[in-house]
Amino acid sequence: MHNIYTIFKKEARSYFNSPAAYIVVTFFLIFTGYFFGTNLFLMNQANLRTAFGIIPLVFVFFVPAITMRLIAEEKKVGTIELLVTYPLKDSEIIVGKFLAALALLAAALIFTWVYAISVSFLGNLDGGQVVGGYFGLLLMGAAYLAIGIFASALTENQIVAFIVALVIIFVFFLLDKILFFIPTPLVSIFEYLSIDYHFENISRGVIDTRDLLYYFSLIFFSLLLASHSLGRRKGD
Amino acid sequence: MIELRNVTKSYSGRRAVDDISFSVQHGEILGFLGPNAAGKTTTMRMITCYMPPTSGTIVVDGMDTNENSLEVRKKIGYLPEMAPIYADMNVLDYLHYAGELRRLEPAHKRQRIREMVAVCGLEDVLGQDIGELSKGYRQRVGLAQAMLHDPDILILDEPTAGLDPNQIAEIRVLIKRLGQEKTLILSTHILPEVQATCSRIIIINRGKLVADGKPDELSAGFHGQEIVQAHLKAPRDALLAKARQMTGVEGVREIPTDDGTIGIRLESAAGMDVREGLWKLAVAQNWPIWEMHRERISLEEVFRVLTQESEQPTS
């Protein structure tokens, strides 16, 4: 725990010290704010459905941007050599970095509470849906982050890490959008594998263990793969 | 303290380190020599558990690096080549971070950081970002983090690279002092550095171990013979003939001189000193000796011959 906390502190500080993180968060807020604002008055309903509908898509681009440097940069600069010769497990490095990225994601989400607060002035906002929605976004974001860290552990090139993460996440995102083309017996499998499908359940305010299990296992396996590929140093 | 047994490392088929075995005792300062790309860094990376050997075992303080990696890593302080350190952290923050990863108690950590800052001369740059530091300072930050937890074993990959002559002298003094109580392995391709600091030398070339011994053993025992050169004022033919008759002399050659004397080069078996015999001969014949010295083969020569010799059969 101590090692994870040390890594977390160091990574979180370098996030909040670097202009890149602020730029990425700003873009995230501009995009979500734009889509939220344009549709809210058209729909004329006091809920956050439009925001929760668009954030998963924005995450597809936002999350790889915050995870791409986590390990790829250390590999490129060579600092990974010192880090992994310190007495700490590869998994502790991965989890510490994952939690730091999650903190940045949570910080970005906190700013979107403005939407919830302004909507609550306009009408009767369903608190359960909002809490569920944020909980779902956090879980979904965490799953994306875990995939992003895995992609970052594969390469020393941040651009490659970004693209690989984007592609994997986008596939998970699209799975339930293409159900129309899938043979009927496979539909439920594709639906179950889709990140968005589980998010829709949670964002309605329904917290089902199946959905939680899905997210936690996705996070766990991605982090496991990331720590495995960090341990597999070049040359083997 | 450290033992390598038949260690091999291949990178996609190419053998970077090829069946190397050696051991390092407590209190030794081992100089690791070799041309670029000889496998020095790879060997050090395997000892520090950065990557496992393809085959063979490495035992550090009784523990296998594969099975007990975490415990081994606790005992080692490592300075990688070029001292890769986070550019966006300042020196003090970085040392605190390193101390926390080494799990030092807060009070002890602060005290060790103070000591290392003094030893490595970092007082003036504590608040600066490491990315802004000169190469020499970055190297010193790297040394400070390697020694922070007072490890029994220090592994330094080209510790004096990028330092100016004064700093190099300081680091050498530091290394000598550390070597009294710790085990050190340092790699370099600067030969005077090895002669100045190391108690033992290992030369590797193309992944293979080509020499292992004390610095003077390596240069003395290298040719397997002793060589004495002398300039005498004497008739040439008589001198050469008498010299050939001397006991122990196996070969005599004339060497050119520029002061009107006759130069000779005497070869004899290892351990056979012919200087006294030459002096007696000169006194008996009344030939003044202008100059006489025993030729010492320098480490440079040993290094050059060893690393070039083993290149020939492969190419």
What is the domain-level CATH number for residue B234?
3.30.70.3190
User: How far is Cα B64 from Cα A118, in angstroms, rounded to an integer?
Assistant: 62
In a domain, B91, yes or no: yes
In a domain, B31, yes or no: yes
Q: How many CA atoms lie within 13 A of A105 on its CB side?
A: 32
CA distances from B111 to A52, A56, B101, B144, B194 (A): 51, 49, 16, 13, 32
DSSP SS3 for A35: helix
DSSP SS3 for A210: helix
What integer pLDDT is reported at residue B146 of this predicted model? 93
Chain A residues near residue B156 by CB distance under 8 angstroms: none
Q: Do B70 and A234 touch (CB under 8 A)?
A: no
Chain B residues near residue A88 by CB distance under 8 angstroms: 70, 101
Distance from first CA to last CA of chain A, Å, rounded?
A: 30
CA-CA-CA-CA torsion sign (A79, A84, A88, A91): positive
Residue-level pLDDT, tens digit, chain A, 236 residues: 899 999 999 999 999 888 888 999 999 999 888 888 887 777 777 777 778 888 889 999 999 999 999 999 999 999 999 999 999 999 999 999 999 999 999 999 999 888 888 888 888 888 888 888 899 999 999 999 999 999 999 999 999 999 999 999 999 998 888 888 888 888 888 888 888 888 888 888 788 898 999 999 999 999 999 999 988 764 44
Q: CB distance from A89 to chain B under 8 Å?
A: yes
Q: What is the mean pLDDT of residues B1-12?
A: 90
Which residues sit opposite A1 in a β-bridge? none
In a domain, B191, yes or no: yes
What integer pLDDT is reported at residue A37 of this predicted model? 81
Asked if B279 and B206 sit in the same domain, the reply is no
B27 pLDDT above the threshold of 90: no
Least confident interval from B21-25, B186-190, B216-220 = B216-220
For B17, nearest residue in chain A (alpha carbons):
A235
Span B99-130, pLDDT tens digits:
999 999 999 999 999 999 998 889 999 999 99
Asked if B97 and B245 sit in the same domain, the reply is no
Span A186-199, pLDDT tens digits:
888 888 888 888 88
Chain A residues near residue B45 by CB distance under 8 angstroms: 81
Asked if B264 and B122 sit in the same domain, the reply is no
Give the end of a domain, one of B196, B220, B244: B220
Asked if B23 and B108 sit in the same domain, the reply is yes
Cα B192 from chain centre: 9
Instruction: Chain B: give the shortest CA distance to residue A235, in Å.
Output: 4
In a domain, B314, yes or no: no
Q: Do B82 and A14 touch (CB under 8 A)?
A: no
Instruction: Chain A: give the shortest CA distance to residue B52, in Å.
Output: 9
Instruction: Chain B: give the shortest CA distance to residue A221, in Å.
Output: 23
Q: What is the mean pLDDT of residues B160-164?
A: 79
Q: Do A87 and B102 touch (CB under 8 A)?
A: yes
Q: At what angle do helices A209-231 and A195-203 cross, to 10 degrees?
A: 140
Instruction: Chain A: give the shortest CA distance to residue B25, in Å.
Output: 22
User: How far is Cα A34 from Cα A42, in angstroms, rounded to an integer?
Assistant: 13
Which residues sit opposite B55 in a β-bridge? B8
What integer pLDDT is reported at residue A236 of this predicted model? 42
Quote the number of domains for chain B.
Answer: 2
CA A69-A84-A15 angle, 5° bins: 30
What integer pLDDT is reported at residue B129 of this predicted model? 92
What integer pLDDT is reported at residue B79 of this predicted model? 93
Chain A residues near residue B103 by CB distance under 8 angstroms: 2-3, 87
| Best A5, A69, A86 residue to mutate vs chain B (most B CBs within 10 Å) | A86
Give the end of a domain, one of B164, B195, B220: B220
What integer pLDDT is reported at residue A74 of this predicted model? 93
Least confident interval from A45-49, B59-63, B86-90 = A45-49
Q: Do B101 and A3 touch (CB under 8 A)?
A: yes
Asked if B143 and B201 sit in the same domain, the reply is yes
Span B241-284, pLDDT tens digits:
888 888 888 888 888 888 888 899 888 877 778 888 889 889 99
**What residue ranges do the domains of chain A occupy?**
2-231
Question: Which amino acid is it at B57?
Answer: T
Confidence of residue B313 (pLDDT cuts 50, 70, 90): very low
Which residues sit opposite B23 in a β-bridge? B3
Contact B138, B130 (CB under 8 A): yes
Chain B residues near residue A2 by CB distance under 8 angstroms: 100, 103
What integer pLDDT is reported at residue A178 of this predicted model? 82
Asked if B240 and B255 sit in the same domain, the reply is yes
> Which residues have CB under 8 Å from B280's CB, separation 6+?
none
| Best A17, A71, A82 residue to mutate vs chain B (most B CBs within 10 Å) | A82
For B14, nearest residue in chain A (alpha carbons):
A235
Q: CB distance from A20 to chain B under 8 Å?
A: no
Confidence of residue B162 (pLDDT cuts 50, 70, 90): confident
Percent of chain B scoring above 90 in pLDDT: 38
Chain B residues near residue A233 by CB distance under 8 angstroms: 50-51
Give the end of a domain, one of B220, B238, B254: B220
Q: Do A78 and B89 touch (CB under 8 A)?
A: no
User: How far is Cα B119 from Cα B170, in angstroms, rounded to an integer?
Assistant: 10
Q: Do B9 and A86 touch (CB under 8 A)?
A: no
Chain B residues near residue A84 by CB distance under 8 angstroms: 49-50
Asked if B163 and B15 sit in the same domain, the reply is yes
In a domain, B67, yes or no: yes
Domain of B107, in residue numbers: 2-220
Asked if B49 and B189 sit in the same domain, the reply is yes
The complex scores an ipTM of 0.87
Instruction: Chain B: give the shortest CA distance to residue A222, in Å.
Output: 23
Q: Do A82 and B84 touch (CB under 8 A)?
A: yes
Asked if B229 and B274 sit in the same domain, the reply is yes
Chain A residues near residue B39 by CB distance under 8 angstroms: none
What integer pLDDT is reported at residue B302 of this predicted model? 77
Provide the CATH number for the domain around residue B81.
3.40.50.300
| Residue B233, φ and ψ in degrees, nearest 5 | -95, 100
Q: How many CA atoms lie within 13 A of A36 on its CB side?
A: 22
Question: Which amino acid is it at B92?
Answer: L
For B72, nearest residue in chain A (alpha carbons):
A87
In a domain, B136, yes or no: yes
B310 pLDDT above the threshold of 60: no
Structure tokens at B230: 């002398």
Chain A residues near residue B76 by CB distance under 8 angstroms: 85
B297 pLDDT above the threshold of 50: yes
